[in-house]
Amino acid sequence: MDIRSLRYFLAVAREENMTRAAELLHVTQPTLSKALKGLEEELGKKLFTRKSFSIRLTDEGMLLRDRAEDLVAMADKIEHEFTALDDITGGDLYFGLAESYQIRYLAREISRFKAAYPGLNYHITSGDTEQVTEKLDKGLLDFAVICSELPDPRKYDYITFPEKDRWGAVMSTDHTLSGKDVLTVDDLAGHPLFCSEQSWNREISEWAGDRAGELRLEGSFRLSYNGSMFALEGLGILLTFEHLVDCSEGSGLVFRPLYPVKETGFYLIWSKHQTFTPIAERFLAQVTKSFSEH
């Protein structure tokens, strides 16, 4: 199984059409068909079901797609890393980012760094802490930005962002709790709540303590914006970080901090004993210096 065959496979899986995939890959359709047939023979599994005008993945094909995406991404990353070894003006950096208003600090550093190294190419993937650390552990990222308690020192080195994220509740302006200055477990008990599943099981559970069972999760959202739309329609209260959702006048939403105050740290992390490219080493040195001055 070679990387080229996996690239061919992913193109067909994405386009669901052999002709379009062949055009995008700049190969003939017989060449593409032969490569896919060879892949199926090598794996001993049927990867596609072919219809008159489309191609669909089998269950085995969907499994290969998930694995192939990581393998091809890793191959691209390795190629970029070796290409950049002799490039003193640029290279590639790969980031996985959790949600926080503090991303502005990272964006500022990337902007400064790109001005000094105009050949820099940076690649961003977003997700919650679990999603981005999974990609970091697979070697698909150089750095991940996570919100959590202290990162596991057995697995990661890290830099702490200048601030912490404050937890609170986002609700419609006409909600019965919108007039309160802060919200407690007593206030939230009995109301339908929205939160990411990860944060519900960690930060919110820790904040509520032995009263966590009194809180009811109505639905889980990985993206705060989506949760805020449900809150806007009066379907419940979104528990999230401050500044992630527009709660300005006229938005129809308000943010109220939790009490006792609950804050979560934000960290730039990388795998322990990771070998960096020259451009990644320079970026890390800049961020370390800049964050230490805040």
Q: What average pLDDT does the chain have?
A: 91
Name the pairing type of β-strands 216-220 and 192-195.
parallel
4 vs 171, higher pLDDT: 171
- For residue range 225-258, list pLDDT tens digits in order: 999 999 999 999 999 999 999 999 999 999 999 9
Q: Do 167 and 240 meet the contact criterion of CB atoms below 8 Å apart? A: yes
pLDDT at 105 over 80: yes
- For residue range 207-216, list pLDDT tens digits in order: 999 999 999 9
How many C-beta neighbours within 10 Å does residue 118 have? Answer: 8
pTM above 0.85, yes or no: no
- The reported pLDDT for the residue numbered 85 is 61
Span 166-184, average pLDDT:
97
- For residue range 117-149, list pLDDT tens digits in order: 998 999 999 988 889 999 999 888 999 999 987
90 vs 237, higher pLDDT: 237
φ, ψ for residue 259 (rounded to 5)?
-140, 130
79 vs 158, higher pLDDT: 158
Contacts of 260 (CB under 8 A, 6+ apart): 207
pLDDT at 175 over 70: yes
- The reported pLDDT for the residue numbered 79 is 77
CA-to-CA dists, residue 57 to 29, 33, 61, 67, 69, angstroms? 18, 15, 5, 14, 14
Considering only CA atoms, which of 124, 137, 1 is closest in space to residue 10? Answer: 1
pLDDT at 87 over 80: no
Confidence of residue 276 (pLDDT cuts 50, 70, 90): confident
Span 276-291, average pLDDT:
92
- The reported pLDDT for the residue numbered 68 is 86
- The reported pLDDT for the residue numbered 84 is 59
Residue 163 corresponds to which tokens in the numbers above? 């601030």
Confidence of residue 286 (pLDDT cuts 50, 70, 90): very high
Span 92-110, average pLDDT:
95
- For residue range 24-82, list pLDDT tens digits in order: 888 888 888 898 888 888 889 888 887 767 788 888 888 888 888 888 887 887 777 67
Percentage of residues in the chain with pLDDT exceeding 70? 97
